């Protein structure tokens, strides 16, 4: 099949949506499809559209549906569109109506949809491959990694603030990899690095290098205020790296309601409590490690590939009543 994959950011973008689009393009090509990534649908002939983000891709979805009403649309709900746009933006709501099928990165996202259309939605966990050697923490200090660009929605300085609250005896060090998306955040990260001996901002780095940093850490911390389903969690699970996360639906939907490594959103005191326990309680660290090891199976690349194949076939059947080969 000829597939147009609509990602509403430039190919040069460092936004997570492009990371997902590129991975999905590789998966779909492996399944035998011809895939072209576009920032906006241009009207070129194709057999199916996959569109990321209900609001930002709304014009493309509307255009495609108007001129190709017989063809299927798969809408990928990836983050802010789930927890904000579909509740207040008419264009995003229209995208939900027009989509033949929708996919989400974790099952709790279903609760954000109107009950009348939930039967169109499916969950596909983002996959990740294990880095060479997997989790191999190193160093005489207790290293935790924060992997992600500095954006307000990521609450990027929360781990740094928490590290300031740890006991004087703590050997914990925070290594933060990710580009600053605003000049103000860049200034803040540099200032924190200069003034906080437990925090070091490393700036933007290649993905492979960030993965290696995480694999050598005792734990990875995700501090986001909201996520559709963070790819960095999949990467941590692939390497069986213990995860500390803000208690947000995007993480709970992947790690589970009873996962013991959550802290309350925006609360550096609660985060400091978790980090101190990780450093001083080997059994707690082992518990998180075992939990993440057991979950690593859900992020295996063959699982994501199989579910994408099922979703495409289902979307085609919904429109035509028959299967279409690549």
pLDDT of residue 88: 92
CATH number for position 100: 3.40.50.2000
Burial (CB count within 10 angstroms: exposed 0-12, middle 13-18, buried 19+), residue 220: buried
- Quick one: 106 and 146 in the same domain? no
**Do 103 and 172 reside in the same domain of the chain?**
no
Domain of residue 61, residue span: 2-127+300-320
Which one is predicted more confidently, 130 or 83?
130
Within a domain: residue 284?
Answer: yes
Whether residues 147 and 273 share a domain: the answer is yes
Same domain, 155 and 278: yes
Rounded CA Rg of the chain: 20
DSSP code, position 11: T
Structure-token pair, residue 148: 């992600």
Q: Is residue 61 part of a domain?
A: yes
Q: What is the arithmetic mean of pLDDT over 34-41?
A: 96
What is the token pair recorded at 187? 């200034």
Checking if the pLDDT of 323 tops 80, the result is no
Domain membership flag for residue 52: yes
Confidence of residue 9 (pLDDT cuts 50, 70, 90): confident
End-to-end CA distance of the chain: 4
| Torsion sign, CA atoms 26, 27, 30, 32 | negative
- What is the residue whose two structure tokens read 């779909």? 28
Domain for residue 326, yes or no?
A: no
Do residues 280 and 235 both lie within one domain? yes
Cα-based distances in Å from 147 to 42, 83, 139, 141: 35, 22, 19, 18
Average pLDDT (226-234) is: 93
Residues 70 and 171 grouped into a single domain: no
Is residue 137 in some structural domain?
no
pTM: 0.92
Question: From residue 314, how far is each of 50, 204, 322, 324 by CA, in Å?
Answer: 13, 39, 9, 10
Contact 220, 255 (CB under 8 A): no
CB-count exposure of residue 12 (10 Å: 0-12, 13-18, 19+): exposed
Mean per-residue pLDDT, 250-273: 98
Residue 136 falls within a domain, yes or no?
no
pLDDT of residue 320: 83
Indicate whether 196 and 148 sit together in one domain.
yes
Q: Which two tokens stand for residue 222?
A: 């995700």
Distances (CA, A) of 200 to 57, 178, 218: 37, 11, 16
Query: Are 308 and 267 members of one domain?
Result: no
Check whether residue 178 and residue 286 sit in a common domain.
yes
The C-alpha atoms of residue 232 and residue 248 are separated, in whole angstroms, by 15
Judge whether 132 lies within some domain.
Answer: no
Tell whether 294 and 243 lie within a shared domain: yes
**Number of structural domains the chain divides into:** 2
Q: Which residue has the higher pLDDT, 18 or 171?
A: 171
What's the average model confidence in pLDDT over 268-296? 98
Q: Which residues of 236-273 are buried (b: 16+ CB within 10 A; e: fewer)?
A: bbbbbbbbbbbbbbbbbbbbeeebebbbebeebebbbb
**Residues 292 and 307 both lie in one domain:** no
- Output the average pLDDT for the chain: 94
Comparing C-alpha atoms, which of 29, 40, 22 is closest to residue 3? 29
Q: Which of 72, 73, 76, 2 is nearest to 33 (CA)?
A: 2
Query: What pLDDT sits at residue 325?
Result: 47
Model pLDDT for residues 153-209, shown as the tens digit of each residue: 999 999 999 999 999 999 999 999 999 999 999 999 999 999 999 999 999 999 999
| pLDDT of the residue at 11 | 75
- Residue 7, pLDDT > 50, answer yes
Q: Is 108 helix (H, G, I), strand (E, B) or coil?
A: helix
Whether 231 and 111 share a structural domain: no
pLDDT in tens, 104-155: 999 999 999 999 999 999 999 999 999 999 999 987 899 999 999 999 999 9
**Residue 150: DSSP 8-state:** B
> Is the residue at 133 inside a domain?
no
């Amino acid at each position: 099949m000829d597939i147009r994959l609509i990602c509403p950011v430039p190919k040069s973008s460092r936004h997570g949506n492009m990371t997902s689009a590129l991975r999905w393009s590789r998966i779909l090509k492996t399944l035998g499809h011809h895939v072209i990534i576009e920032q906006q649908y241009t009207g070129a002939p194709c057999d199916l559209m996959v569109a990321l983000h209900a609001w930002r891709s709304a014009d493309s979805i509307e255009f495609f549906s108007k001129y190709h009403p017989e063809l299927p649309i798969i809408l990928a709900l990836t983050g802010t569109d789930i927890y904000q746009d579909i509740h207040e933006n008419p264009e995003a709501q229209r995208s939900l109506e027009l989509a033949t099928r929708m996919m989400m990165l974790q099952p709790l996202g279903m609760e954000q949809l109107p009950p009348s259309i939930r039967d169109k939605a499916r969950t596909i966990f983002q996959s990740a491959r294990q880095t060479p050697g997997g989790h191999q923490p190193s160093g005489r200090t207790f290293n935790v990694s924060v992997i992600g660009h500095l954006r307000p929605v990521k609450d990027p300085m929360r781990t740094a603030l928490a590290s300031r609250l740890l006991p004087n005896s703590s050997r914990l060090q925070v290594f933060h990899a990710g580009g600053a998306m605003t000049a103000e955040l860049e200034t803040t990260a540099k200032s924190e690095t200069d003034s906080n001996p437990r925090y070091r901002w490393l700036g933007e780095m290649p993905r492979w290098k960030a993965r290696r940093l995480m694999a050598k850490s005792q734990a990875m911390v995700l501090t986001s205020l909201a996520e559709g389903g963070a790819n960095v969690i999949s990467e941590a699970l692939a390497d069986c790296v213990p995860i500390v996360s803000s208690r947000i639906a995007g993480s709970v939907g992947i790690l589970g309601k009873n996962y013991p490594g959550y802290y309350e959103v925006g609360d550096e005191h609660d985060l400091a409590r978790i980090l101190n326990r990780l450093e001083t309680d080997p059994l707690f660290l082992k518990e998180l490690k075992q939990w993440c090891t057991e979950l690593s199976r859900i992020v295996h690349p063959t699982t994501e590939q199989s579910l994408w194949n099922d979703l495409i076939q289902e979307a085609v059947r919904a429109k035509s009543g028959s299967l279409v080969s690549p």
